[in-house]
Chains A and B, each alone.
Chain A
Amino acid sequence: MAVYDKRLISKLERKANLIRQHVVRMIYLAGSGHPGGSLSAVEVIVALYFHVMNIDPKKPDWPDRDRFILSKGHGCPTWYATLAEKGYIPVEELDTLRKLGSRLQGHPDMRACPGVEASTGSEGQGLSMGVGMALAARLDRKLYHVYVMIGDGELDCGQTWEAAMAASHFHVDNLTAIVDRNMLQLDGPTAHIMSVEPLADKWKAFGWHVTEINGHDFKDILRALEKSKDVKGRPNLIIAHTLKGKGVSYMEGAVSFHGKAPTKEEYEQAMEELGGKA
């Protein structure tokens, strides 16, 4: 089992905390957005961008780069904040989220923002796009890996399962999907809206290599992501068990913060909890 340097883990943890502060501020300033599903996804996206993926922010179109797709496009504040911290876009630009003329659209626009690999927002399409990118790598004999984060609400979408079947059928092994399993969707708990369990068994039955992790534990995340590169002949699924709204007490596990901005008082409290400046 891989052992990770304490300094690496604490660096990633600091980054994750900084990104949570960005996310809360961005959505507060925008006056709308999706804090819950942004905050649950932070650690996985930070791990990908700050340790796992082979990327160069100075060359966002480098053909050999690893790709990341945020199929649950509403979580994009976390993606934008990570891209900014990584140097793709200026950090100051984060405050333009959802404003007229901004490159940071309410849902990701691959033609607007450097580093954004796919336009998503209408749910359930990102995994299919990822299959296409992974097949392109095979045709071009390139070694890049494609990562797709899907929301657990997207497991309701038929297209997610069409993509799951196709990835397995085409023996795509340079593809890793991560389910942000925060157990909530817009209308309530996923279990009440549409039952998706037994989730691991479903993906296994579709021919995927499946790993379950704590999606807020960097050691768990790094281990799973690195192991997924070694799986041959089939695609990888990581079920990342997460907490919606993670890091802000009143947002944690709160369906109400799926898609609304904090008030001024809530914003100030959140920043205090995250150790940032309001």
Chain B
Amino acid sequence: MNLKDFKLESQREYWAKALVELGKKRKDIVVLSADLSSSVKTSLFAKDFPERHFNVGIAEQNMMSIAAGLAACGKTAFASTFAAFGTGRVYDQIRQSIAYPKLNVKIIATHAGITVGGDGATHQIVEDLALMRALPNMTVIVPADAPETYRAIKTVADYVGPVYVRMGRANIPTITNSKGKFKIGKATLLKDGDDVCLIGTGIMVSRCMLAAHELKKHKISARVINLSTIKPIDTKTIVKAARETGGVVTAEEHSSIVGMGSAVAMCLVENAHVPMKRVGIPDVFGQSGDSDELMEKYGLTAENIIEAAHDVLGRKGR
């Protein structure tokens, strides 16, 4: 098994497909873009529902607060831009206009992480999960692939309150099936195993699957969990897996000091003391490059996960 065995699909296309379907059914859905509608694919919604799409230009602060105003009057507002501009650039607008008053605004961020590629560090946000996790009232979702993105968007539209959904730019391996309703706050078991638990989020879930496959060759049975809701975190599933396998590896395309791995670490330190290793981007900014090269450069491959698993296994039962 390697990455080429998976079908590669675009999260952005699936998000847009879900959005257009929602727009047909629900008149309360409005969409906001900030001069990136063709990149984030809200242009497809705009084509079908021009009166319900507002392109505010390169003015993300304005976009977030306008979305809040629309939501305060009963609209379900989807504000979409690149993750770098939809979080850090507008943190205070999200904090005051959206999260504090718990308004029904969905921030749909694409182009997160280093897989943005050639655009470089200015566009490769690796700390957005930290910002969004820190906000009271905010739900944080990172779908693992395109079909899960589609299902997550449908669920998010029904949930009343602020949500941050993170996706990448690249086409990524499809590993989930597209059946069933996405449940906010529920981690899913993709592969059972007893020796170690690999918890992935976003694009790294596929790398966890590859790592588990390789580990099996060495008679190591790895459990794989897709942690697609970062907040509220599924403590029950994480603690159960930690207790049953005795060791945890987390993997994320995000800074490893403030993202999903640290959320899992907090969960374990209070509930189940097992060896743990975090795979993620070290505390550095990214750079330009091909996305696969960057994944290798910053330690985000199946091999890095396997190495981390061996480290955890070595510390088990000490």
User: Which A residues are closer than 8 A to B by beta carbons?
Assistant: 63, 109-111, 117-122, 125-126, 128-137, 139-140, 158-159, 162-163, 165-166, 170
Contacts and interface: CB of A to CB of B under 8 A. Distances in A.
Interface stretch (B53-61, B219-227, B289-297): B53-61
B96 A163 contact: no
B255 interface: no
B243 to A, nearest CB: 39
Interface stretch (B9-17, B71-79, B259-267): B71-79
B61 A139 contact: no
Interface string B41-76: 000000000011010110101101111111111110
Interface string B68-96: 11111111010000000000000011011
22 contacts: A63-B73, A119-B100, A120-B96, A128-B66, A128-B93, A128-B97, A129-B69, A131-B69, A132-B66, A132-B72, A132-B73, A135-B66, A139-B52, A140-B73, A159-B62, A159-B65, A159-B93, A162-B61, A162-B62, A163-B62, A163-B66, A170-B54
A132 B101 contact: no
Contacts of B57: 165-166
A125 B65 contact: yes
Contacts of A140: 73-74
B118 to A, nearest CB: 29
B191 to A, nearest CB: 43
Contact of B69 (A132, A159, A162): A132
Interface of B: 30, 51-52, 54, 56-57, 59, 61-62, 64-75, 77, 92-93, 95-97, 100-102
A217 B75 CA distance: 37
CB-based closest 5 A-B pairs = A132-B69, A128-B65, A136-B73, A162-B62, A129-B69
Contacts of B68: 118, 128-129, 132
Given A162-B59, A162-B61, A119 B69 contact: no
A132 B54 CA distance: 10
A133 B54 CA distance: 13
Given A159-B61, A159-B65, A170-B54, A129 B72 contact: yes
Given A131-B69, A136-B69, A125 B101 contact: no
Given A109-B100, A110-B101, A135 B62 contact: no
Contacts of A137: 73
Given A158-B61, A162-B59, A162-B62, A117 B72 contact: yes
Nearest to A130: B69
A136 B269 CA distance: 46
A202 to B, nearest CB: 17
A158 B218 CA distance: 59
A135 B72 contact: no
A170 B56 CA distance: 9
Contacts of B30: 135-136, 139
Nearest to A121: B96
A136 B75 contact: yes
Contacts of A158: 61
A166 B100 contact: no
B225 to A, nearest CB: 35
Contact of B101 (A118, A126, A128): A118
B61 A128 contact: yes
A166 B51 contact: no
Nearest to B58: A162
A159 B59 CA distance: 8
B59 A133 contact: no
B22 to A, nearest CB: 16
A176 to B, nearest CB: 15
A49 to B, nearest CB: 19
B61 A135 contact: no
Contacts of A166: 56-57, 59, 62, 66
A125 B93 contact: yes
A163 B101 contact: no
A154 to B, nearest CB: 12
A137 B30 CA distance: 13
Contacts of A109: 100-101
Contacts of B61: 125, 128, 158-159, 162
Given A119-B101, A139-B75, A131 B66 contact: yes
B68 to A, nearest CB: 5
Contacts of A133: 69-70, 72-73
Contacts of A139: 30, 51-52, 75
B64 to A, nearest CB: 8
A232 to B, nearest CB: 19
A120 B101 CA distance: 10
